[in-house]
Structure 1
């Protein structure tokens, strides 16, 4: 087998030996190869067998020999060629390397990867926007809570006999800010209702949408 086809011989022997099945192996029907883990393949196989550390180089070589690529149900890359199958070394002689044709399949693979990365980036950007919007809402909630706290405090300060109620109120508020536990928050507002007065905060589904009101 000529120097150009040593690549195919190495690849065939790797698959037949099953030494690196954690990153590359035959498909169940033995008619294509599966990339189980691109990272492991780059780390364990590429430097030892192909004098490279870039899996993109490996993909390009497969494309040059006419391999087609698809993605299986596990989202693994699956490369196939009519003359490349398990246990049939002789058929490798029928595989010819493309000399002048542009590497359209390789470009297609790279384009697919770039498209996937762009879509993932767009999704992350949308998620970031949603998170930022949620943070803005929570900031407004906290500001409204603080205003309500100030109103209650000012109201309670008007009467020196309300010192104990002030202590209970602010201890309760601390519990709210610790995590907005539903049961704790509900009990706190029951306490605040008992304080009474025109400036007492009322449980509001706008301020506290996580609470259920009768």
Structure 2
């Protein structure tokens, strides 16, 4: 079995289970067909940070769900996860496939959010441009008024020029 072709999540889960130091926190059941997390709190604080960027336990559960694992919660401190292809001998591990609809939903949501953020950014830029144009228009209007006032003064001066020469 070539494990390098497996999804990273499954490789990390396998590593957790294979590490003898973790056996009191996470292990196989006696039949070797369920993963048992014996101490959820300790799993959250000491195991998750070693293997994943996110130490959020619900994210870990969602990943398990995405790969077809069923949760058999036994108590608030312990739970079991089952997937028909996930066994202690890893013989059928290659048959575990991530649910496609979740991936499509994530991609769809991600694309939507990216588009929305781009739209918001463009809207902010347009608003800034409109504000700049408004300021420029106001300055131009003031200049036109000043030029018009100056023009009237010069016209008056030209009209009164012959009187001043006498």
Q: What TM bracket, shorter-length normalisation? A: 0.5 to 0.7
User: Given the alignment, which residue of 55, 58, 61 partners 1:56?
Assistant: 58
- Which consecutive residues of structure 1, in runs of 5 or more, have no partner in the other structure? 103-214
Q: Match of 2:98?
A: 97
Does the aligned pair in 2 maintain the 1:16–1:86 contact within 8 Å? no
**TM-score, normalised by the number of residues in structure 2:** 0.54
State the 4+ residue runs in structure 1 displaced beyond 2 angstroms: 1-4, 71-76
Query: Structure 2 CA distance, aligned partners of 1:5 and 1:70?
Result: 23
- CA offset at residue 17 of structure 1? 2.2
Does the aligned pair in 2 maintain the 1:16–1:87 contact within 8 Å? no
Query: Structure 2 CA distance, aligned partners of 1:58 and 1:87?
Result: 22
Does the aligned pair in 1 maintain the 2:6–2:94 contact within 8 Å? no
Query: Structure 2 CA distance, aligned partners of 1:69 and 1:99?
Result: 20
SS in 1 for 2:71: strand
- Which consecutive residues of structure 2, in runs of 5 or more, have no partner in the other structure? 104-166
Q: Relative contact order: is structure 1 or structure 2 higher (C-alpha 8 Å, sep ≥ 6)?
A: 2
Q: Aligned residues, how many? A: 101
**TM-score, normalised by the number of residues in structure 1:** 0.43
Distance 1:2 1:97, change over 3 A: farther
Aligned 1:109-128 pairs, distance under 5 A: none
RMSD, aligned CA: 2.3
Q: Match of 1:39?
A: 41
Larger radius of gyration: 2
